Amino acid sequence: MKILVTGGSGYIGSHTCVELIDQGYEPIIVDNLCNSKEVVTDRIKEISGKRPKFYLGDIRNQTILEKIFNENEIDSVIHFAGLKAVGESVTKPLEYYDNNIYGSLVLLKAMKKANVKKIIFSSSATVYGTQPIIPYVETMQTGEPTQPYGRSKLFIEKILQDLFKAEKNWSITLLRYFNPVGAHSSGLIGEDPQGIPNNLMPYITQVAIGKRPSLAVFGNDYNTPDGTCVRDYIHVMDLAKGHVAALNNNNANNIQIFNLGSGKGTSVLEVISAFETVFGKKLPWHFAPRREGDLPAYWANADKAKQIMGWQTKLQLEDMVKDSWNWQRNNPQGFV
Ligand code: NAD
Ligand code: WQD
């Protein structure tokens, strides 16, 4: 069965392609390579034995999408393509709204035209905004994300909900990821941020490899057990399996929302400590002021995904740091 994977050469998309192939699906990638490299498809082949068909193209280009739908009998779409840097979205709101929202609209229109009505969308825990209660559960009202990136995810969720209200023959799954980290255990694919990493794990591995001198831990006076922020880290291979579970889930004529997280909160200092155990030495790090916009603590209630899709995380923090480090060590310059 052919699955169109938008943004399939990116971090989560590439791991999902491996899992799709492993489960007998045929992923077809469309990616404009604004944040990834085509060599990823070679690596996917090295891992899984099959190279996904690759279309170089932008999802805002209707002609390309129509060509893809005409040339391939696509069953479903997994929609990863988008811009994802929270801080950058504050300085480039128009680019983020254009890419993420307009891109999703063009994709949905092309799907409708091709009569492909099953979509799995990469949403984010950011749509919860600030909630009075932790863990976050899907029945909570969404909040008010404070930046264009988060708003773009919330708007796309609303667009998909409105689409379903109007046309009940769609099958729509909104997956709200918590904090994806880790890499495929082969060390052949992983997260390859351009420039200075925004996220904790790639920053840690770049310090470990000697690319950056020291990790700044943002804030030590939060109301958390050790004063640093608490998040729900999820191994990218567990996340990839969550997409296949969503594909296998009987969701015809329905819209469903799932949190994809481990259900467990981990502090920044706990991540560093787990990393140091695998690394075998101390990591240079220092406390720095709080980063604007960071929430003190949140994690997922992931019971719904377990009950309905039979999915739950299997990999632990130890696997996440080990695989992140293995990827970085084997690819000091990322994909070259
Ligand atoms: P990524 O940047 O590694 O992958 C996104 C891919 O989409 C890249 O390969 C990029 O080149 C491509 N792309 C971007 N705009 C495009 C366009 N207009 N047309 C075609 N291709 C385009 O990011 P990722 O971490 O793999 O994230 C995938 C999705 O999951 C994104 O939508 C992101 O917002 C969402 N998400 C990510 C996280 C995270 O922490 N990584 C958390 C929650 C949600
Ligand atoms: C994790 C913790 C930082 C870097 C972001 C997006 C979210 C989702 C996932 C897309 C925080 C601390 C970080 C550093 C640090 N993405 N930190 N030093 O902010 O929880 O979530 O990615 O949807 O929307 O906001 O992830 O990895 O940036 O931070 O101390 O150099 O690590 O303060 O507590 P975050 P992160």
Q: How far is the CA of 57 from the centre of ligand 1 (A)?
A: 14
Residue 11: CB within 6 Å of ligand 1? yes
* Whether the Cβ atoms of residue 142 and residue 154 lie closer than 8 Å to each other: yes
What is the token pair recorded at 206? 């770049």
Is 12 near ligand 1, meaning CB less than 6 Å away? yes
Nearest to 185 by CA among 240, 123, 244: 240
Is the Cα torsion angle 165, 173, 254, 311 positive or negative in sign? negative
Amino acid at 172: I
Residues in the chain: 336
Whole-number Å distance between alpha carbons of 311 and 305: 6
Query: Per the structure block, which two tokens stand in for 150?
Result: 């988060």
**Element spanning 236, H or E:** helix 236-248
Ligand 1 pocket, residue 205 CB under 6 Å = no
The protein residue whose alpha carbon is closest to atom 24 in ligand 2 is 126
- Which residue of 179, 201, 266 sits with most ligand 2 atoms within 8 Å of its CB, as the best mutation to test the pocket? 179
SS3 9: coil
DSSP string computed for 28-86 = EEEE--SS--TTHHHHHHHHHS-PPEEEE--TT-HHHHHHHHHHS-EEEEEE--S---H
Q: Is 322 helix (H, G, I), strand (E, B) or coil?
A: helix
Pocket, ligand 2, Cβ cutoff 6 A: 84, 86, 124, 126, 179, 198-200, 203, 215-218, 229, 231, 268, 291, 294
Nearest to 65 by CA among 105, 19, 12: 105
Structure confidence at residue 292 (pLDDT): 95
Q: What is the distance in A from the centroid of ligand 1 to the CA of 87? A: 15
For ligand 1, atom 19, name the residue with the nearest CA: 58
Q: Is the Cβ atom of 13 under 6 angstroms away from ligand 1?
A: yes
Query: Whole-angstrom Cα distance, residue 119 to residue 211?
Result: 39
List the pLDDT tens digit at each of the 336 positions of the chain.
Answer: 999 999 999 999 999 999 999 999 999 999 999 999 999 999 999 999 999 999 999 999 999 999 999 999 999 999 999 999 999 999 999 999 999 999 999 999 999 999 999 999 999 999 999 999 999 999 999 999 989 999 999 999 999 999 999 999 999 999 999 999 999 999 999 999 999 999 999 999 999 999 999 999 999 999 999 999 999 999 999 999 999 999 999 999 999 999 999 999 999 999 999 999 999 999 999 999 999 999 999 999 999 999 999 999 999 999 999 999 999 999 999 999
Using the atom order of ligand 2, give the atom closest to the CA of residue 268: 32
Known catalytic residues are 149
- Closest alpha carbon to 102 in 65, 138, 67: 65
**Cα(253) to centroid of ligand 2, in Å?**
35
Q: Which structure tokens are listed for 313? A: 């995380």
How many Cβ atoms sit within 10 Å of the Cβ of residue 225? 12
Whether the CB-CB separation of 43 and 188 falls below 8 Å is answered with yes
Ligand with the closest atom to the CA of 295: 2
Round the CA-based radius of gyration of the chain to a whole number and report it.
19
CA nearest neighbour of 332 among 240, 212, 244, 216: 212
Ligand 1 pocket residue status of 124, Cβ below 6 Å: yes
Q: Which atom of ligand 1 is nearest to the CA of 59?
A: 19
